[in-house]
Structure 1
Amino acid sequence: MTFLKLGCTSFGGPAAHLGYFQKVFVEQKRWLKPDEYAQLIAFSQFLPGPSSSQVGFAIGYERAGIGGALAAFFGFTLPSFILLYLLAVIPSDTNPYLQAATLGLKLFAVVIVLDAVISMAKSFCTKQLTAIACLSSATLVLLAPYIYTQLIIIIGAAIVGLIISKKEHSSTIKIKRPKVIPAFIFLLAVLIAIFAQGDIANTFSAFFYAGSLVFGGGHVVLSLLQSMLPNFNQDQFLLGYAAAQSVPGPMFTLATYLGAVAHPANPLLFATIATFAIFLPGFLLLLTFKDSWKALANHSQFSQALALINASVVGFLLAALYQPIFTSSVHQASDLAVVLIGFICLRFLKMKILFLVLAFVTLSVLLH
């Protein structure tokens, strides 16, 4: 139910989702400590797939095992799945009230991410070196917004941290073996995607490959899917992409829309297959290597490396606060005024998120 509520209200893309998770699971429910949450974010940056959904999946797994992980995934993904499926099967005209409400929710996403950046910076950027790592990573991401920029930055931060900590610690780092079952399922799914034939297999193959190869979240998956699904025209892709950004929850549910549109005779089946296939690789890889990452993160020699990685993750969130969240939401002075008022209400007056969501929607409809 917690993730279902988030799936209905988490607008603004992966960075905003991480801000919502920070507020709910670290500050309010205290399911995770700040450093544990930062570890999950850093780990998700190493894996292909939807980073915010992987973090949510991992939070569910930490809370209640594989059942909790699946509950987190279905709860967070279901609202956007339903909305994009309906968009694919039901012709609809543009609704100005809906557009205004969506703008209000995108403005609220600016508030949430700004609050998350400040909270995480207080925890992970307390020293000169970590502050430099944070600002440097934000600068590099803004200047070089390429697919592998974040991964390269994290690897670089880890190397610098290990070089520094090596002077202080000399013990050997022992990494736990990866889990066999999810790794086996991943390899089996790869074989199915390669050799199976038919519409169902081809749909699974295209979206499974996209989920396996995309680093950087939903904004990056569009170009890869365009090359893998040549039968779609540009208008279909752009409509689905715009809708995926406008609805709450993960942007990877773009696969829901594309799967349903590609097979109008049986849209629900193919929407489900496409959605399942695009999320599957990232989740299997997370289950395979999660314990290995945790063992590495808890080692004393890796502490300095982890500190720089965490600071770099804050820098990623800072960069995302500007592009795409701020630039796609704040277009005029009244928008910025609403953001500042909302930030005061959230940060200093401690108002409930649900109340603020309703207030932002109402105010945006009245203004626009």
Structure 2
Amino acid sequence: MTGSATSPKESQTPGGSAGEVFVAFLKLGLTSFGGPIAHLGYFRNELVQRRKWIDEKGYADLLALTQFLPGPASSQMGFALGLLRGGPLGAFAAWAAFTLPSAILLTLFAFGAAAFDGPVGSGIIAGLKITAVAIVAQAVWGMARNLCPDRERATIALGAALIVLLFADMFAQVAAISIGAAAGLLLCRSHQKAIDSHIAFPVSRKFGVASLALFFVLLFTLPIATVASSSQGLAVFDTFYRAGSLVFGGGHVVLPLLETEVVRNGWVSQDQFLAGYGAAQAVPGPLFTFAAYLGAVLGPEPTGLTGASIALIAIFLPGFLILLGVIPFWDSFRNRESAQALMRGANAAVVGILGAALYDPVFTSGITGPHAFALALTCFVLLVAWKAPPWIVVLVAAAGGVAIGQAH
């Protein structure tokens, strides 16, 4: 994956090592509770504000791209940031470190190691949901100040929020970003500024085209190969690959599709599916690692560790292939005058989408009463005013959630 279109000196940040990327994302993989929108807030806090791997504008542009593409948006963002910082090994390190903690925990849960039963466990889960409220609120607050500084972009953000809130389906986010980008093309040309930095990814255009070709070849040939071979392992790979290919909006959107596929086929019972989904809410990292649990419990063979590995790789692979296919063309695209106006509108729309997500599902599932709201406000002040590290806020929220549960 060599052959970047821009020279190293044009990159926004000096290169790092795969080890550095692994350590940074392992911290995130162990502490990033709350789902994909919250993860993007954690990433911004750790990698934009603290480590300064990329600037706010570059992060927002990548965020708009990953929100628009099918696949797990937060994992695609992590993969892209790892690629930017540490090259191909850095991209793999970012994915492994962010994904494996929750994948391992959910696989253990599949083997019977349930760790969140009882009132204490329920309180911890409630506290972690409250953490997500504070994290997402901080992200919306910070990004709105940077990306919606005028009435045109504030209006685009409002429109995107209304679209997502009023038309809650898997295509609402794509529609909101598309409309926001078109509005930016019309309304945001007067705000043009030359981009003074480049995002130089170590991926050639030839490799990008090959990645896109492989994505489509697998998408269309796997079902045929599955029927022709009658292989259960291939059928599992095909099912989870299609789930990762056809989903916009992150992990929660993939759940109905997975339920239809694995429960309808008789691979997993309804009770097993719901138990695994509950466990997935209690662990950090991407919700797509729910696939590891399903792969471990499904029947017939392959199951256990083999099934978990097949399902996990298959569900993440298409999103990464699409990202690798698009990303070599991204920097030259974002430097065009019309593209800058388009991206201003798209970035404003992303702020609106985050704002809508702050309400539903983050606020509606995390805030169950005045005590929970008070704890969320406390976490928000710790993050914004006291600049507390997210892992400390996670501990405070978990302890507070247990205390609230005991009080009731």
Q: TM-score, normalised by structure 2?
A: 0.84
CA deviations over 1:183-211 (Å, ceiling 9, x no partner) = 24324433245314311101100000111
Q: Which residue of 2 aligns with 1:316?
A: 353
Q: Which residue of 1 aligns with 2:105?
A: 83
Verify the 8 A CA contact 1:244 1:252 in the aligned structure 2.
no
Instruction: Give the alignment of 1:105-254 within 5 angstroms.
Output: 105-164=128-187, 179-190=208-219, 191-196=221-226, 197=229, 198-229=231-262, 230=264, 231=266, 232-254=268-290
Q: Which residue of 2 aligns with 1:60?
A: 82
1:314 and 1:185 map into 2 onto residues whose CA distance is 32
Q: CA deviation at 1:147?
A: 0.7
Read off the aligned partner of 2:255 and give its amino acid letter.
L
Read off the aligned partner of 1:129 and give its amino acid letter.
E
Verify the 8 A CA contact 1:165 1:301 in the aligned structure 2.
no
CA deviations over 1:219-272 (Å, ceiling 9, x no partner) = 111111122221133222222222222211111111111111104764100101
Read off the aligned partner of 2:250 and give its amino acid letter.
G
Instruction: Give the alignment of 1:30-109 within 5 angstroms.
Output: 30-90=52-112, 92=114, 94-109=117-132
Q: Which residue of 2 aligns with 1:21?
A: 43
Read off the aligned partner of 2:158 and give its amino acid letter.
L
Q: Which residue of 1 aligns with 2:12?
A: none
Verify the 8 A CA contact 1:49 1:282 in the aligned structure 2.
yes
- Note the aligned Cα RMSD (angstroms): 2.0
Read off the aligned partner of 1:211 and give its amino acid letter.
G
Q: What SS class does the counterpart of residue 56 from structure 1 fall into?
A: helix
2:29 and 2:360 map into 1 onto residues whose CA distance is 22
1:347/1:258 Cα in 2 relative to 1: closer, same or farther (>3 Å)? same
Greater mean deviation of Cα atoms: 158-167 or 183-192 = 158-167
2:40 and 2:351 map into 1 onto residues whose CA distance is 11
1:92 and 1:52 map into 2 onto residues whose CA distance is 26
Verify the 8 A CA contact 1:16 1:113 in the aligned structure 2.
yes
1:119 and 1:335 map into 2 onto residues whose CA distance is 23
Q: What SS class does the counterpart of residue 246 from structure 1 fall into?
A: coil
Q: CA deviation at 1:162?
A: 2.7
Verify the 8 A CA contact 2:188 2:345 in the aligned structure 1.
no
2:293 and 2:126 map into 1 onto residues whose CA distance is 21
1:168/1:13 Cα in 2 relative to 1: closer, same or farther (>3 Å)? closer
Q: Identity rate of aligned residues, in percent?
A: 44
Greater mean deviation of Cα atoms: 320-329 or 92-101 = 92-101
Q: CA deviation at 1:304?
A: 1.4
1:294 and 1:152 map into 2 onto residues whose CA distance is 23
Question: Where do 5+ consecutive residues of structure 2 fail to align?
Answer: 1-22, 193-203
Read off the aligned partner of 1:289 and give its amino acid letter.
V
Q: Which residue of 2 aligns with 1:285?
A: 322
CA deviations over 1:55-81 (Å, ceiling 9, x no partner) = 111110111111111100000001110
Q: TM-score, normalised by structure 1?
A: 0.93
Verify the 8 A CA contact 1:263 1:270 in the aligned structure 2.
no
Q: CA deviation at 1:335?
A: 0.7
1:168 and 1:329 map into 2 onto residues whose CA distance is 38
